[in-house]
Homo-oligomer: A and B are copies of this chain.
Amino acid sequence: MRDLFHDELDEIGAGVAEMIRLVAVAMEQATGALLDGDLNRAERVIEADGRVDHLRTDLEDRAFQMIARQQPVATDLRVLVTTLHLVADLERMGDLALHVAKIARLRFPELAVPEEARDVIKQMGDVAHSLVLKVGDVVDGRDISLANAIEAEDDSMDALRRKLFTLVLSPRWAHGTEAAIDMTLLGRYYERYADHAVAVARRTIFIVTGERPVPAPNGVSPLT
């Protein structure tokens, strides 16, 4: 029979799963808004971020109160402390999706992404989405067998960011400095989104294995 404590822990877990779902949708929609120049979709992503922020605050408070009142030990305490970290990463992923949406909004009715960069940005959006779905599977089912696949997708994201820089720095780039700045920021936002997703997966795996993950990536060096 489950006790009240573990029911509460399950509720917090469901909240984390909901945050993962929301930030997955946010980045997917932000990428769509960006590539289609869809102002309404961009606005919806921007408005929806408040829900992610609210969930973070709520889950952080609940985890803190459970630690304070129930004084859990061992794995239960580790799950709660890890929750504090996960919700911080997930809130940040929501912010990064929001930043992508804001670039779409800023350039409307123009398209922010020039034709020759569309494919790379689309791939960055695809990798972000595939990554966050895998992270959801890790967190839901504590399925640590996805760890390697997640690291590989993080590497793909870094490679795509380098490809984006190569395009922008090519002598054939004919879209000026403003578009170059947009591509630089977009590359950074997708890369950081992936970094935070990986951090969530690593933290969750730490709970299962008890082995501290290697440090989170600093992000690729600029332009290298």
The interface of chain A, by Cβ under 8 A from chain B, is: 49, 53, 57, 64, 67-68, 71, 73-74, 77-78, 81, 84-85, 88, 95, 98-99, 102-103, 106, 165, 168-169, 173, 177-178, 180-182, 184-185, 188, 212, 215, 218-219, 221-224
With a cutoff of 8 Å between Cβ atoms, the chain B residues found around residue A222 in the complex are: 99, 102-103, 106, 181-182, 185
Minimum-distance CB pairs A-B, first 3:
A71-B71, A184-B184, A177-B180
> In the assembled complex, how far is the CB of residue A219 from the closest CB belonging to chain B, in whole angstroms?
7
24 CB contacts below 8 A, A to B, read A53-B215, A57-B212, A64-B77, A67-B67, A68-B74, A81-B81, A81-B84, A84-B85, A85-B88, A88-B88, A99-B219, A99-B221, A99-B222, A102-B221, A102-B222, A103-B222, A169-B181, A180-B181, A181-B181, A181-B222, A182-B222, A184-B184, A184-B185, A188-B188
> In the assembled complex, how far is the CB of residue A200 from the closest CB belonging to chain B, in whole angstroms?
13
Q: Binding site of A, secondary structure by majority: helix, strand, loop or mixed?
A: helix
Query: Could you say how many copies of this chain the assembly holds?
Result: 2
> In the assembled complex, how far is the CB of residue A103 from the closest CB belonging to chain B, in whole angstroms?
6
With a cutoff of 8 Å between Cβ atoms, the chain B residues found around residue A102 in the complex are: 221-222
> In the assembled complex, how far is the CB of residue A185 from the closest CB belonging to chain B, in whole angstroms?
5
Contact of A173 among B73, B98, B177, B221 (CB under 8 A): B177
> In the assembled complex, how far is the CB of residue A32 from the closest CB belonging to chain B, in whole angstroms?
19
> In the assembled complex, how far is the CB of residue A114 from the closest CB belonging to chain B, in whole angstroms?
13
- Given contact pairs A64-B77, A68-B77, A81-B84, enumerate 13 new A-B contacts (beta carbons under 8 Å): A57-B215, A67-B67, A68-B73, A71-B71, A84-B84, A84-B85, A88-B88, A99-B218, A106-B224, A169-B178, A182-B222, A185-B188, A188-B188
Nearest CB in chain B to that of A54: its residue: B215
